[in-house]
Homo-oligomer: A and B are copies of this chain.
Amino acid sequence: MGITKTDLFDSKQNELAIVSKAFAHPARVAIVQYLLKANACINGDLVSELGLAQATISQHLRELKDVGIIQGSIEGSSISYCINPSRWLQIRNMLNELFDQYKDCGDNCC
């Protein structure tokens, strides 16, 4: 059926899944890494950087924007994208909270 049964899970689990899905494509990882490296805000010369069509890049940018990871501001006729600082930290904390839950159980695990 291809449809995720989101109602079976709590909001935190769904949020984690949505955020993870944003990173679940190498193109979006590459876009985020590029924005991190450039630090200053960059417009869509990602098209020449990555080897994908303009429409495809635009689509990936929108997905990242929808999740709030990046934000764009109009810069004349082009658009500057950059990491959303507060959202970035929030996601980082959310992931850390998950990964910190692991308690090493020695070798008596499985």
List chain A positions with a Cβ less than 8 A from chain B: 4-6, 8-9, 13-14, 16-17, 20-30, 32-33, 36-37, 39-41, 50-52, 71-73, 75, 80-83, 85, 88, 91-92, 95, 98-99, 101-105, 109-110
Contact = CB atoms under 8 A, between A and B. Distances in A.
A20 B23 contact: yes
B13 A30 contact: yes
Given A24-B17, A40-B109, A50 B8 contact: yes
B24 A9 contact: no
Given A21-B20, A110-B81, A26 B14 contact: yes
Contacts of A103: 36, 39
